[in-house]
Structure 1
Amino acid sequence: MSSASVIAQKPLSELSLGDLESLVEIEAAESDQLELKRDLPISNDAKGWRESGKLHKNETRAIAIEVVALANAYGGRVYIGIDESSDDPKRAARMASALPNVASLSERLGDGLNGLISPPIRGLALKAIADAEGSGDGFLVIDVPRSLEAPHGVGVPPQCYWRRGSTAQPMEMRDLQNLFWETRTRTERIRFEQQESIRRYELLPERPNAINYRFTLVSVEPLALKQLTQSFRKGAIAPMSGGGPASGVAEYPLWRNDSWTFAAFGTVKSSEKSPTSPKHFSWAVDETGVLEVIGTIAMQSGINGICVDPYDFCATAAHLLYLATYVHRSAPQSVDQWVLDGEIQSTCPRVYGENPAGRLRQITVDLRHGARFRPLSLSLEQGTEEIFAALEERIWAAFGQEVLDQAKHPYQRPARLA
């Protein structure tokens, strides 16, 4: 039997009917990140989804208020189809009657929320979970990220709510002013750190025939990692048990616990300086919550072009997420949200990419203008598989290809770290 926190950390795609039944079995309590609904809220004299097969505006609005309240606070999940107790806070008491045609409900409610909430909440996701009968009826889970664009409102003009304890409450003017200030400060810090990483990337030594790359993770809130970065430099960080992900364009930084050196506000680990090596890279951990890998792959002498495998860039992106998981679990704060961005650029006139449909059929790629990836928001606790899959698609697209099943990286977030 799983705890409420374990179920909350499961990726939405992996949630099952058994998880909802576990919430009932353990009598999970509503909290600042968990909301239970027996049904779609509606007045007694109105006909909604259950009676007519059509969403009533009051049903959509009631759920939108709960969603906005979570997004404006810490994020969380709304479970529709679990009856609550009369306790304070309310607890999961029993499974309610399954919602009819739950897959269609999920689609229509998602559209309704996107149309009613302003600005739209990035990363908002719904999942229909079928009942045991296989009738098409079932239950609904809404996954709400903590928004970097808060405050969000419902309707026109927008009315703002946030989560206080286990209830959604209207925001007062002072609350709105504080949240606007926090969002602006947070956004400016993230952009500043991203620009600093870009500046370091642009300082890479000029190589006429090379591919340069950068992947950067910035914590949404500033961290205090001074002790951790000192431990890295002292070699006190044990490599991850059971090995790490596959080799990439940069050596996985947690395979060994040496070679971390001092850097302003943190620590770095760089490749050995060898004029014959085609790979040069540097990992960095900043004590305020910035992780990055910056590197270059040079063309070997005498070869008319450079041949690379997009898979290797995906592997290094996986390395970064593994490193972030280690840092996150070692940090004194419980801040969980991060923003990932990156870029790949070539100074080589000819780049050949491995074609997963046939390894002997390489394709020519134009990377001279480079590819910069739009920022992705992620939660390390709630699962990074879906975010990694999105980044993997972007990396392969930069090389002019669609990622095929046989070429996908077998990424899984680490179950535990030493």
Structure 2
Amino acid sequence: MSHPKELIKCVISGATDRVFQCRPMKTEEDRDYRAACKEWIFGIPRGSLHLHSESWENNIFFREDICRMYIQGQFLLAPTFRTYLDTLVFMEQRAGLTDRDENDESPRRPWSALAPNGGPYRYVFIPFTDAARKLQEECKMQPQTADDLNYGKHPRGKDLLVGSDAFPVVECYAHPFAVATHADKTFSRRRTSMMTAQWRSCTADIVDQWRCAEIKPPQWFVDAPKFGLDDVDLSATEASGYDPSTSQDNTVREATTAVADRLADPVEPRTKVSSWLGKINLEAKPVEEESPPSPRKLRRSTRIAALSSPYASSPPEFYAPLSPIRRAPWPSARGRDPIRYTPAWAKRNGRFPTRRFSSNDWAYFQYGIALAARSRS
């Protein structure tokens, strides 16, 4: 989701001058099946991973020197234990990813719906160099809370090591999926102690959901046409497959001829456009066209309308999300605040949105926010 410009500041120092944008998750490294796993878990259309990698969920803003240190792996940000648990609960219970029928093509909840009220998320700052440790003193970061530390218990059941609360917390809008991806790579390049291994195991658990295909996408999703794929995106070799009479030799010959024709024509396209524009009478009146015929007035008889094929509408061939109903009943006090009172549909996997979804339901489905909730002072 979008955020105002006031939020474009260094997440560690708070600086607003010379702020650099960093994308912790790189998508060009993903193979096709791993990309499909990510897209399924992220709740986005097939083939749209490269587009969503440019969203707010994959952006962190740092001061120039801090950005350089982050890229070099002098420190990392790892989800707090609470953020880690919330992320797993979202994937396993609230995103509509698991326990689905194989042919269930209903939407999943997008990754933007994870954070309550749109974020921000909380991450532990783990330094590896002296320069990174100095940032803790310079920037006065906030300490971890008891909730961040899961009240002294590691998510795998053991007690946390003494001193686990020494790492400060950084808040930002970058998604745990993206931040955990970068943290997992940094952990693999740095020596891990018993202390930092507590967060490394949690980070690996998140990344393993798509790296090891622990949550597998159904085959219909893997085989689905990729987002934006049409004839324009096809290469010359692929496009020739539509014409059975076209051979490889003809394709090469036609391509060579086309290049030669372009080289032989010295007139630039802009010159041609200017020449054409000079021949146009800009003061001429537009040609009047006949208005389209008025639509045929339908008969009022429902019996005849039911028997007449022009009035019958064919059912949709694929599932399409319905738009919010225009006059939904005003929700109850509990229904107005789905953040505090989780709706029943959010506890199911698949087969939502429903026909009774209001705009308030859609806002919570997509972004985890409540439109109708009363503001708290």
Would you call these one fold, judging by a TM-score over 0.5? no
Could you state the TM-score of these two structures normalised by the residue count of structure 2? Answer: 0.22
Report the structure, 1 or 2, having the larger helix content: 2
Could you state the TM-score of these two structures normalised by the residue count of structure 1? Answer: 0.21
Report the structure, 1 or 2, having the larger strand content: 1
